[in-house]
Chains A and B, each alone.
Chain A
């Protein structure tokens, strides 16, 4: 048990190095670790590879990180949204690279990284642009595409509640990428709405066991 309870989001993101691969949880704004991303903007690491389902909304959070030129490469499934103007502009200007990954393949590549799987074959994307240049194999009469894990140096995720062991519970669809990203990075940072004492979470209800978590920080939601 070696979970650091941080006093604020700035402490929680301290030490993230230039050129890191950063996994960022959330689907749209649900489960988005907004305070950790804002702290990362202040922290200043640059040349980042960011792995996240979307590529920022509006002008805050991931969009602010992109806008400041800190992101060299985005790995995501759905960058284009009605309010993704920051990413759209940078992409069209050739100032950010994009690796587009089908959403389920993104989740499974993260899961594979966390589970120590070397690579896996998936039928998703076979025969499409997104499989070009990838190894394929016929398995049970179906074309499968070889996919490699995505491992992060850091994961920034958001959960509902943590205990001081780092055990996490989520709330509703804000769970999304949190549990798989928590397994897939060297250093995992969780922002939560409440940190509770050891023993206060029902062990049967824990979704992410504390073994995966390195730092937690409590962020009181804006009223």
Chain B
């Protein structure tokens, strides 16, 4: 039933609580209650005004079946004999820009429910696979060194120091990667978390400065294993959506039921940017041009026939992924695309402490050249690699993007209760 039932009510009586949407007739109000719309009649409702938060004592007057109303308009009609307005708004809750408007009229509430079901299904999948759900620090001293990520700084005690400013304390994580890999070294072989990650300066249809990452690692496993996990997760979340088994974005419909496709970066450029003779060489030689062509020509074509894993990325963008032994110009990294939307980034993890240190130092040097803050190298992480990290694969999947796709929305802002805005 769309109403809250209080035991103390005499039998047959209902306590209706909600907001008055409209008063179409002097003794009739339309009430919004928990996403439902109900009609209440009764002389006592005459003093209520649209927008009021109200409490009504009522009985079911008639059942929709008695009225022969079409199903989509069927709701019981109540007869109220006592009405109380708890709050009369001093500003309109129905104006655009109001929270009531946003959650009540734009379908945001339904999409927040979809989010809830999505994280439920993600957890259910990993529990069934015997993963441990973990939590790792959100405030760190060494945020990722990736040259194209920018971390938020965190201030310590707000008591001013002699300089008049609070002391810097650390940074918010851009990804929980390094800590989760340390868990692998410690013998936690299968772990996952739904981590809030923070990246400064990223606001757009598919970017938010804080967002939720589903991140997981499998020790003694390879890239294919985490890509298989990804397929299961996407299917499980799509089942909770309005079009089970299907992702519908604009005019595109993509089934997630069949096996996902795979395509290498070279193959993708050959198909959508054939004038680029060697994308792997281009990435090393002119990174900006590579990403320009990638964003403009390749990405908008990916994942429309069926979900597609892009593989064999240039090693200059290997980050923390292993390079192929037989072709070190490319690495064991994969991204999933559905309808041109990048959903995840998977690595066959680099476990060699020497190579990892060299890559960190190179990133530091590039950051210095670009005039970016140079964060320290995470020595605890490197020490863990020296102790020995088992061969492993991991993946990081943007939950907001997946939920937005399943909801058929272009922008992740539509599935976030309070998104950050530009400017």
Asked if A pairs with B, the answer is: no
Chain B residues packing against A (C-beta within 8 Å):
none
Residues of chain A whose beta carbon lies under 8 Å from any beta carbon of chain B: none
